[in-house]
Amino acid sequence: MMYRDQPENRMQLLQKINEVSFAVDDILLYLDTHPCCEDALAYYREQSEKRKKLMKEYAKCYGPLTIDDALESDGDTWKWMEQPFPWEKEGGCR
Amino acid sequence: MWNYEKRLQYPVNIKTPNAKIAQFIMSQYGGPDGEIGASMRYLSQRFAMPNRMASAVLNDVGTEELAHLEMVSTIVHQLTRDLSMEEIEKSGFGPYYIDHGNGIWPQAAGGIPFNACEFQSKGDPVTDLFEDLAAEQKARATYDNILRVVRDIPEIADPIRFLRAREVVHFQRFGEALRSVQEQLDAKNFYAFNPSFDCPCEASCQKCGQQNQNR
């Protein structure tokens, strides 16, 4: 995969996922209290599509962030367990 | 980060309210061996695990326990909705009703409120994993106690049996996680050092792991 083992690319992709995911987290709260707002619905649709695409791309290149993408990457072993936790230092060093 | 799925891990459909049994079962929400304690225990302890497998087991079991506390509180909710004042007074549910109406609040069957002293997080993987094994057995035994009371009420007994079975599976997985930790340690003395405090990188960091092997 083109991004594998390039930490700065991985972090960049993760940053994009963080941004788009926060947009989803925030607009979902807004929509809970404004369920008919067309602008908000359109924004949700757009951000949520972006998020799905980025999550799949990340899983393919680096391993799954969520269980629904657990088999996106190559290989025939269980990658979910091997993924670094978000509090680890780069390289798996704790 | 977590996402919510608007469904129960296993369905709960209780049609007949029963205040007395609700008071027994709420212990598995906020009691000493309840699901809140289980989830908070594992999600807290996962930071001190010395390898990815043990962290993953604590992370994923701790997440499943969140689904279990939702199931238990659903059972309590369905057992306490549509209660008559007469049943509340007769069943012994009165003291809970006075403080909480029929809201859901984490307490033991005997009324003791939930607090973090129901569990430990010791920063020592062998210690923590033995606690986790014991916790799963204590929860399993509590579900057995509940089942003796509700065995003839299928709509209650069915989801309780599911929860009991998961305790058994979690016990098995924690046993395997403990084995993975002990295999990293000195087999003649598992307690010679604390892998999380004395050499936290050994298992998770390739570079440090190699250095330690060369020592």
Quote the pTM value. Answer: 0.90
Q: Are A47 and A20 in contact (CB under 8 A)?
A: yes
Q: Are B178 and B130 in contact (CB under 8 A)?
A: yes
Q: Taking Cα atoms as reference points, which of B179, B211, B153, B169 lies closest to residue B50?
A: B179
Helix (H, G, I), strand (E, B) or coil at B204: coil
To probe the interface with A, which of B4, B9, B52, B58 has the most A CB atoms within 10 Å?
A: B52
| DSSP β-bridge partners for residue B113 | B107
Among the partner residues B59, B200, B206, nearest to A94 by beta-carbon distance? B200
Backbone angles phi, psi at A90, to 5 degrees: -55, 135
Chain-chain contact of A92 with B204 (C-beta, under 8 angstroms) = yes
Query: Interface pTM (ipTM) of the complex?
Result: 0.82
Query: How far apart, in whole angstroms, are the C-alpha atoms of residue B198 and residue B125?
Result: 12
Q: How far from B80 is each of B73, B106, B173, B212, CA to CA, in Å? A: 10, 15, 34, 58
**Domain range summary for chain A, segments of one domain joined by +:** 7-89
Chain-chain contact of A93 with B205 (C-beta, under 8 angstroms) = yes
| DSSP β-bridge partners for residue B107 | B113
Helix (H, G, I), strand (E, B) or coil at B123: coil
Q: What is the pLDDT along chain B (215 residues), one digit of tens a residue?
A: 999 999 999 999 999 999 999 999 999 999 999 999 999 999 999 999 999 999 999 999 999 999 999 999 999 999 999 999 999 999 999 999 999 999 999 999 999 999 999 999 999 999 999 999 999 999 999 999 999 999 999 999 999 999 999 999 999 999 999 999 999 998 899 988 898 888 876 555 656 655 555 44
Query: Can you spell out the DSSP letters for B165-193?
Result: HHHHHHHHHHHHHHHHHHTTS-TT-TTSS
Q: What domains sit in chain B, N to C, each tagged with a CATH number?
A: 19-214 (1.20.1260.10)
Q: How far from A43 is each of A19, A31, A37, B87, CA to CA, in Å? A: 14, 10, 10, 50
Alpha carbon dihedral A38, A43, A45, A50, in 10-degree steps, equals 170
